[in-house]
Every structure is written in C-alpha cells, then in structure tokens.
Structure 1
Amino acid sequence: MVESGDVSGNRFDDDGREKRTGTVLTASAHIITAVIGSGVLSLSWAIAQLGWLAGTLILVTFAIINYYTSTMLADCYRSPDDDPGSRNYTYMDVVRAYLGGRKVQLCGLAQYASLVGITIGYTITASISLVAIGKADCYHDKGHGAKCSLSNYPSMAAFGVAQIMLSQIPNFHKLSFLSIIATVMSFCYASIGIGLSIATVTSGKVGKTGLTGTVVGVDVTAFEKLYRSFQAVGDIAFSYSYSIVLVEIQDTLKSSPPENKVMKKASLAGVSTTTAFYILCGGMGYAAFGNQAPGDLLTDFGFYEPYWLIDFANACIVLHLVAAYQVFAQPIFQFVEKKCNKKWPESNFITSEHSMDIPLIGTCRINFFRLLWRTAYVIVTTVVAMIFPFFNAILGLIGSFAFWPLTVYFPVAMHMAQTKVKKYSLRWIGLELLVSLCLIVSLLAAMGSIVGLISSVKAYKPFNNLDK
C-alpha cells in the first residue's frame, strides 16, 4: 500500500526506492495536519495580548515569511548536482548537501529535539481535550460553577496505547489517510470555535476589545503586558512552523511534475487555508471575549453550551492529535531505524520483515525491531508527559529556539548558496535582515516562555491533575 495505490508501470523511482505517489492533495493534508493544531483555539488569547492591529498584522506577516522560506527549502530537495537520483530524504540530508560541516549536527539537534518535544506535548494536549469532554458533561449536569475534577492520566495512557498501534505504520508514505482525517477534524473543531464565537458576538454579551489589546493597570500589570506580548508573538510565529517536516513531506511526492513545484503549491494551499482559519478563529474569539479571552476556547471553557457540541469539538481535537503525533514521530522513527540498519546490516532482528495475518485488517508486514523500538518510544514519551504535565511550557521554549534555525536560517542560507547570491547586494541585505528580525522574535519569545515556565514550575505538584 502506498499513497494512492499506483500499480501500473515501474514500481520504483529514479533512486531505486518504492515509487512515490504523493500529490498536492496529500502534501497539503500533511501540512495542514502539522500546522493547524489545537493551538488555533488559543490565538484569541494571543490577539488579546497584542490587540486588533498588531495581532492581525503579525499573523499575516508570519504567514508570508513561512511560505517564502518554505519555497526556498522546497527548491533544495534535489542536491546541487541535480542528478536524477540525487534526492535528500531528510532535513539533515538537505543541510549536508548545501552547507555541510557542523551545521548538519546543529540542524539535527534542533529538529529532533523539537520533534520529541512536540510528541510529548501532543500527549498532554490530547489528554486535556479528553478530560474536557468529561468536564463538559459534568458542568451540564451540575451547573457551570460545580467542581468538576477528572484525572488526566488514564487519558494519557489511552492516547499512548493508540500511538503504539499507529506507530507500526512503516513510513511517511503510508500516512496520507491519517493526515486527510486530521485535516477534516481540524476544520471541524476550528469551525465550531468560530461558530460559537459568532453566536456570542451576535448575542451582544461580548468583552472589551481594543487596537492595542489588554490594558496596563486594568487587565494586566506592565510586566505581564510585556512578557505576554512576547509569548503571543512567539505563539503566532511558531503556529505556522511546518518546515521541521517539510523535506519528509516532499519526499512522498511523485517525481512528475517536479517535486519542488508541487510542494510550493501545497505550501501555498496549506498556509492560505491555515491563515484564513487563524484570522477567523483568533479574531472572532477575541471579539467574543475581549481582553479576557481564555487560553483555549474549548478546553478552558470559554463556552459551556451546547455541551454536546463542545464534546464533539474536543473529540475532533483528539483525533487530529492522534494523527499529528505520527506526522511528527515518523522522522524520528526513520532516523533511528536508518542508523541501525546501516550499523547492523546483517541482523535479521533489525532488517527482516515478516508477514502476519491480522483479523479484519489483512496481511501486514511486521519488523520486530520496529515493533520494539517504536513501542518503547511511545511509552517513554507518555511517561514523561505524566511526570511533567507542564511540558507545554517547555515546548514553547524548545519551539522558540527551533523556529529560527529550521524555519528561517537554514532555508535562507541554503537558498543563498544554491543561487549564489552576491554578498552585500540588495537581495543579500534583505535576506540578512529577514534572518536577523526572526532571530530577535525567537529570543523575545524564549524570554516569554522562560517566565511562563518559572510560573509553572513554582506551582508544580507531581502526579496532580492538570485542571487543579
């Protein structure tokens, strides 16, 4: 089974690997799965910190920056010598081909640290949405002021079990169906958030909004205004970051038409779609709740009724995160397995595939090393999520450090090497200014994340429910 079931003609591509059959549709689905996370529901909070003017402007600006740098990265999928089989299968391979040296290791450190962090963060986020379903039912039965406390740990365990099974999907090329489901789910819960916000606005019971957002001395202190604004800018900048898996997504595409052209179309479709949802969801959420907008419209109970719709929206978030976990975990799986295959090519435990008949599913290929190692990875990430339930604060810090090198610096540096941009030319100066601006954004966002992390650590009590 491959992306779209191509069975005619040659079964192999120009590099000798199984024929790729990915299209604009499947690549766009992967991008939307990676980009539109449940974080879309927190953008109303981000806009509340910045206000209508800066919030909307920053959303559009970073959409343009992310699309622009993603087109540069897409052009680097093929190596400089442009031989038919000179593909780069991972982000590290691309950096090795164009820049080389120590930068390859720095790229790997930034990429894989972020991927591991994201998978842990998704485990926590999914459990919060699962708990929110139970709490919504509780509030409906007992009233909105009731004390409805549920444990997150059974939800984390259930999410981990689901990931153990899904992690046996061999590689990125087999993930299309999951990404398409996740794309539909993300549209569902984002649309529900937008719809409920519109309903609140039309009812007339709305919060106070402004061009500059929260007001010092009224809503927040001067220090809170400063660090929350930094956090908000960081949240928006990182909300588009799919460069971390762009090369792996591009490696699923058919070779004709050229992969870079298809990837650029998919990036445009993905970024345009997500920007529209971001502006709608963030803007309408801010219009509904004003400067007191909750951190998440659904799990922080900006809305209580209709409770069944809140339940459905949170179920959609969970399904989306189930698929998104795999999109971010697959590059980690492939990296480790490639290294082990190279080091122990004679080991049957590592290299052999076995056929197994599974009722209702059919014949599946099982690799015992893949089964053991991927299961162990999911177990470890689930346990870390249980021990450190404030990990999302750490994830913000990881994201702030990974955004600049992976989304901006490496794509721009490789583009300049590829096109031989003349030093001190207008184009060179413009690109260097872009890199410097985004570095400042990352540093400011890191400062905001550190403040938030300190607050989380102070209130941390091991193995306590997240909603207490």
Structure 2
Amino acid sequence: MALAVDEFSSPLRPLFFAFAPFTSLPYLSAAYLLKVPTCLPFLPYIIPFSPSPFPLIIVSPFFNSPHSVFFPLLCFLCKTTKMVESDSGNGNGEVPYHRHSHHALDVSMDTPSIMASKCFDDDGRPKRTGSIWTASAHIITAVIGSGVLSLAWSTAQLGWIAGPTVLFLFSFVTYYTSTLLASCYRAGDPDTGKRNYTYMAAVKSTLGMSSTYFIHPPSVIYFRVQVSNSSADTKFGWSGGYHVKICGCVQYVNLFGVTIGYTIASSISMMAVKRSNCFHRSGGTDPCHMNANPYMIAFGVIEILFSQIPDFDQLWWLSFVAAVMSFTYSTIGLGLGVGKVIENQAIKGSLTGIGIDVVSPTDKVWRSFQALGGIAFAYSFSNILIEIQDTIKSPPSESKTMKKASLISISVTTVFYMLCGCFGYAAFGDQAPGNLLTGFGFYNPYWLLDIANVAIVVHLVGAYQVFCQPIYAFVEKLAANNFPDSNFITKEFRIPLPWGHYNFNLFRLVWRTIFVITTTVISMLLPFFNDVVGLLGSVGFWPMTVYFPVKMYIAQMKIPKWSTRWVSLQILSMACLMISIAAAAGSIAGMIVDLKTVKPFHMKY
C-alpha cells in the first residue's frame, strides 16, 4: 500500500498517512468501553472480551474501508488520469480541460469537436475511464455525511419495526428512481443520444426549453478543473419551461437551507467539544450549560473569510478533506454505538418506538413524521448522479453501468445507515439523542468525541462553501449582466501577494458577507438541528429524487398516459409527495413546539 501512494501527487501523500490513525478510532472507542488496554485497540483483541462479538465482525469492513477501498480506488483513478494525460496532454503532460465555473465534475476539453477515438469520446471530450466500482465509490463518498448523525433519533421515533422498514423503503425508492434517472443521461436514445452533463441539463433536454440559470450541484467528488470567468461559460438568463424554473428554485432553496443546517450543526459540535472537556474536568458535577450564539457567530466569521476566496469549492484538496472527515465521524459514531451495546449487554428500545407515556399522542405523530424527513435527508443525493454518470466509460452503455453502481452503492449505504441507526437506538433506546455525537449519550472517551466533533466542524466548514458557491455565482452574474457599467459590481482590484495576487471585488465582499450573516441570524433564530434536517429532507427528497426522475423517464421513454406503467409511476410519485408533506408538517410542528420553550437568540445547551 505504501508503494501505491506513489500514484498520488506529492501533496496527497501526507493525506494518506494522516488518515491512517483514524481507521483505528472505532476500535479505540469500543476498546475503551470494553475496558481493553489502549495498547490493544484492534479488533482481534476486542473480540475475546466481547460477550457478543458478531456486531463488531459485521461492521469491521466499514472501519477499514478508507485504506481497503477509498485509497486503492483513488490510486487507480490517479493512475488512469496519468495514462490519459500521457496520451492526450500537451507538451507539459497537462490535459487542457474545458473551463466551467462551479462544476465539480466537468472534465471536458478546449478542443474542437472530435469524433470518438482512442483518446476522445463521441462528444469530443477526453475518453471517460470510470467504471462500476469508481461510480459506486463516488456515490458512497458523496452520500455519507452529516445526515447519518440523526438516524438513531429517527429510528427511536419509529421503533424496531417501522424504523428499519422505512430506511429500507427509502433506499428502495431512491435506487429505483436512480435507475430512471440513469436512463435520462442521454437525450433520446439511452445508448447513443446526446449526453447531458448535469441534472439541470437533463431536465432541459427532456422536459423542454429551460432557463440557462444552471446550478452545478455541489459534490464531494473531485476532478481537476480550471476555472474561468468566461461569460460564455456562466451566462445567466431567464427563459424557457416551467419545469426547469421549478427545478432551479427547489435547488436554490435547498442549497440555502443546507447552509443554515450546517451552521447549526457546526456550532453544536463546537459546543460539544467545549462541554465534553468541561464534563471531564468537573467529573460530571457541572452541567456546563452554554449559549449557542457565540459559536454560530464564530462559524459565520470563518465562512465570511472563506467566502472571499473565489471558487473556494474548486480547491483540489477540499473534496478529499470532506471525505476523510465524514468517514471519520461516521465510523466513530458507529464504533461508540457498538461498544455501548456490548457494554450494556442488552438491546434497548421497543417495537413501536418512543411511547405515548413519554410524549403525547400528537407529539408522537409529529415526531414520526419528522423522522421521515431526517431519513429522507440522508438519502438526498440524486442531484449529483448525472454528473457521476458522466465519468463512466462505454461500452457497455453508461446507463447499464450506472444502474449497477447505484445498486451497489445504495446497498452499502443502507447497510451502513442501518448499523448507525439501529446500534444507536439499541444503545440508548427512547433516549437516543438527536445528534449522536453531540447529544451526550456518550461522555467518554471524551478525547474521541472531541476528534469526531472537530471532524464534523472541519467537514461542514468546507461543505458550507461547496453549497453556497452556486448561489454566489448566480447573484454575481445576474448583477453583472444587469449592471455591466457599475464599478461597484464589476471592477476587480488586483492586490499583489507573496504567492501571487488576489482579485478584490466590492460587490463580492458586501453580497457574500450579507449572505453569511443572513444564514447565521436564521440559525440563531431557529437552532433546532433535527427540525431543520427533517424540513430539508422533506423539501428536497420528493422533487429531486422522485418527481423529476419520474417525469423525465416518462417523457424519455414516451410511456403512454394511463398505461399500467404510467399509472404505477404516478402512484409512486404521489405517495412520496404525501410522505414529504407529512415530513415537512412534522418538522414545522417540531419547530413550533421548540419555540414555545426556547426564546429566539437565547438557545442554550
């Protein structure tokens, strides 16, 4: 494996070795809870101390996945990229990639249209080298994130029967609609038609003329791109069909909402680090209550600074950091849950979830609906599937490969979600915290909790920028097109720096600062993690994961109206719409209940 690291460019080598200690963190957590000496933290030493070692055996593949799966796949991708560069690059070994702002998966070239050849595909872009395994790895890396933290709470609201069942049903619906979306990658013929490079492009080509307000959906997957300020690449303007306008509005609203959710989650994790150390120093005698506002303001200040970096989301290392951090805190949470169950030597919870003796029947209903939104949020990744499919080589056809990759990745993700949600519920029962790593179901090992929460903050600091950069680009281009003669909007001040130069723009400074302040103020007004996650899941799941894929598939395949298949697809869409409405209602009801007990801007933990 050490030799394989040579396939990385030199800046990536420290990342490989830095990640090595994190693969043992889940073992360390389980070892601590099982009273195993810290010098023996690995699985072969833990199993003899465990009264029931099978849960650890089941989850062990996930703990080793970064070195067993992630880095080997990355080595392969880097190697194939070098092969393409040697075949089609310039004299310096560089591939002249096409320039598109805010498009994490664009791998086109600034070359004339070239027919399919040894080095180029049928659209003149470099030969795609992706396979079923690389596509599966991309999806898994993109999906597993902060949504996993609320799954134990969601399972606690639904119980041992409905909880896993709902997780499975969401995974099935997501897989099925992903196969429908895969068939829409090419317009017309699914094997030879014109390629669609983005989700919005697929909506445009399938459902009619569209707005050119293209949102390039954020992704944690990195491909080398060069960014240009070419107006041809980032031109904006309203025109076309209502489907695309609706799709664009949903995406922008979802992006805005996600930035609010990330502000809340990051501030809670920052407080959790402070509180865990406070608990440790006081021996648990001090309740360590803290006001959330200073931490949200601190996060906002950090984001204001990062927002002034043009195209921050295009930095090559950002996606790797996000992947490492998300796997780190997810596996720590899972490891702590497994260790807690073994320590308790009992499985907590009930068949129907939290009982009406704990909450009122009405609250039980609203909480159950809210749990649906939390699970939907964990599965909201359809807007990046087209971009991932655009990396797959053919033959066989991209749609066939993508369908298999979707099955593999969603299956792996669902198993991981089941483990996190079920072990968290088994460990805490009805008292499962809303955020597994910040709800203080675990108090020790405090240093491991600190590592997990720091990983969350680092991940979300970068993820915030990935999600807000498309909004920045939208407003800035709109302003530049409407006021081309305004120096305040268009003039760039070149500031020399020791390592280069920085282009300073007054409008960018003012607008991006106002945006971050707005999201921070809203987060301070509604600092309810589970409510916000449930609302985001309910708003984004049905339109992006179900409605548009179903609508595009019907149009693409020319399915006759009122045929059996048409009716079945419409029933699926309407059923998911009802679920999304219920989840939104439950989340809003949860916010109303929380606002009765918490004063705005005075949230304490």
Decide: shared fold, TM above 0.5. yes
Moved more, 327-336 or 348-357: 348-357
Structure-2 residue corresponding to 1:413 = 551
Deviation at 1:371, TM superposition (A): 5.0
Q: Quote the Cα distance in structure 2 between the aligned partners of 1:364 and 1:89.
A: 32
Confirm whether residue 8 of structure 1 aligns to residue 94 of structure 2: yes
Quote how far apart the aligned CAs of 1:325 are. Answer: 1.5
Report the AA paired with residue 371 of structure 2: A
Say whether 1:198 aligns with 2:198: no
| Equivalent AA in structure 1 for residue 552 of structure 2 | M
Q: Which residue matches 2:226?
A: none
Matched, 1:448 2:586: yes
Residue of structure 1 aligned with 2:298, choices 158, 161, 171: 158
Corresponding residue number in structure 1 for 2:156:
48
Could you say which residue in structure 1 is the equivalent of 2:218? Answer: none
Match of 2:443 among 287, 304, 308: 304
SS in 1 for 2:500: strand
The 1-side partners of 2:258 and 2:431 are apart by 28
Q: Note if contact 1:49-1:214 (Cα within 8 Å) is conserved in structure 2.
A: yes
Whether 1:275 and 2:361 are equivalent positions in the alignment is no
The amino acid of 1:152's aligned partner reads A
SS at match of 2:602: coil
2:64 maps to 1:64: no
The code of the aligned residue for 1:195 comes to G
Which whole-Å deviations, capped at 9, do the CAs of 1:344-392 have from their partners, x for residues lacking one? 5677776677776545xx4366362545533432233223323443476
Q: Does 1:115 align with 2:223?
A: no
Measured in 2, the distance between the counterparts of 1:374 and 1:265 equals: 41
Q: Which residue of 1 aligns with 2:102?
A: none
1:312 positional shift = 0.8
- 2:135, 2:305 → 1: CA distance? 23
- Where does residue 216 of structure 1 map in the other structure? 356
Cα-to-partner distance string for 1:138-179 (whole Å, 9 max, x where unaligned): 111113242202232332233223323443555487255322
Query: Bigger CA drift: 118-127 or 8-17?
Result: 8-17
Listed one character per residue, the Cα deviations across residues 409-455 of structure 1 (whole Å, up to 9, x for unaligned) are 01110111111122233322321221122112112212211220210
Letter in structure 1 aligned against 2:298: A
Shift in alpha-carbon separation, 1:327–1:282, aligned structure 2, 3 A: same
Tell me the secondary structure at the aligned position of residue 542 of structure 2.
helix
Which structure ranks higher in relative contact order (CA pairs < 8 Å, sequence separation ≥ 6)? 1
Pick the structure with greater CA Rg: 2
Q: Return the offset for 1:269.
A: 5.7
The one of 104, 116, 127 equivalent to 2:267 is: 127
Task: State the one-letter code of the partner of 2:522.
Answer: V
Distance 1:315 1:76, change over 3 A: same
State the AA in 2 paired with 1:454: I
Residue 136 of structure 1 contacts residue 311 of structure 1 at CA under 8 Å; is this kept in 2?
yes
Q: Distance in 1 between matches of 2:160 and 2:553?
A: 34
What's the secondary structure of 2:434's corresponding residue? coil
Cross-structure match for 2:474: 335
- Pairwise CA distance, 1:59: 1.0
CA distance in structure 1 between the aligned counterparts of 2:466 and 2:525, rounded to whole angstroms? 24
Cα distance change on mapping 1:380 and 1:162 into 2, 3 Å: same
- Alignment partner for residue 280 of structure 2, among 140, 145, 164? 140
Residue of 556, 561, 565 corresponding to 1:427: 565
Assess, with a 3 A threshold, how the Cα gap between structure 1 residues 161 and 262 changes in structure 2: closer, same or farther.
Answer: farther
1: CA distance between counterparts of 2:490 and 2:139?
31
Q: Does 1:231 align with 2:370?
A: yes
Aligned with residue 363 of structure 1, among 492, 500, 503: 500
CA distance in 2, matches of 1:51, 1:388: 27
In 2: Cα distance, 1:16 partner to 1:405 partner: 36
Q: Which residue of 2 aligns with 1:167?
A: 307
Across the aligned residues of Structure 1 and Structure 2, the Cα RMSD in angstroms comes to 3.7
Runs of 5+ consecutive residues of structure 1 not aligned to the other structure: none
The letter for the 1-side match of 2:543 is P
CA distance in 1, matches of 2:399, 2:290: 47
Q: How far off its partner does 1:82 sit?
A: 9.5
Contact kept, 8 Å, 2:139 with 2:409, in 1: the verdict is: yes
Q: 1:376 to 1:203 in 2, by over 3 A?
A: same
Equivalent residue, structure 2, for 1:438: 576
Q: Secondary structure at 2:433's aligned position in 1?
A: coil
Per-residue CA deviation, residues 218-242 of structure 1 (Å, 9 max, x unaligned), is x433323322222222221221102
1:378 pairs with 2:516: yes
- SS state at 2:438 partner: coil
Q: Distance in 1 between matches of 2:495 and 2:192?
A: 36
Task: Determine which of 512, 531, 534 is the counterpart of 1:396.
Answer: 534
Contact 2:293 2:524 in 1 (8 A): yes
Q: Distance in 1 between matches of 2:398 and 2:464?
A: 25
Q: Cα 1:378–1:266, aligned 2, differ >3 Å: closer, same or farther?
A: farther
1:186 partner amino acid: S
> If the length of structure 1 is used for normalisation, what is the TM-score?
0.84
Read off the aligned partner of 2:161 and give its amino acid letter.
Answer: L
Any conservation in 2 of the 1:117–1:395 contact (CA below 8 Å)? no
Aligned mates of 1:85, 1:14 — CA distance in 2: 20
What residue ranges of structure 2 are gaps of 5+ in the alignment? 1-8, 10-77, 86-92, 99-107, 113-123, 209-240
Q: Which amino acid aligns with 2:447?
A: W
Q: Is 199-208 or 122-131 further displaced after alignment?
A: 199-208
Distance 1:194 1:259 in 2: 34
C-alpha distance in 1, partners of 2:572/2:270?
40
- Aligned-residue sequence identity (percent) comes to 51
What TM-score, normalized to structure 2?
0.67
Q: Secondary structure at the match of 2:453?
A: helix
CA deviation vs aligned residue, 1:277-301 (integer Å, no higher than 9, x gap): 2111111111111222222222110
Question: Is the contact made by 2:135 and 2:402 (CA closer than 8 Å) also made in structure 1?
Answer: yes
- Paired residue type of 1:153: N
Q: Deviations over 1:5-28 (max 9, x none)?
A: 965354433687997899679976
Paired with 1:246 and 1:364, the residues of 2 have a C-alpha distance of: 36
Amino acid at match of 2:176: Y
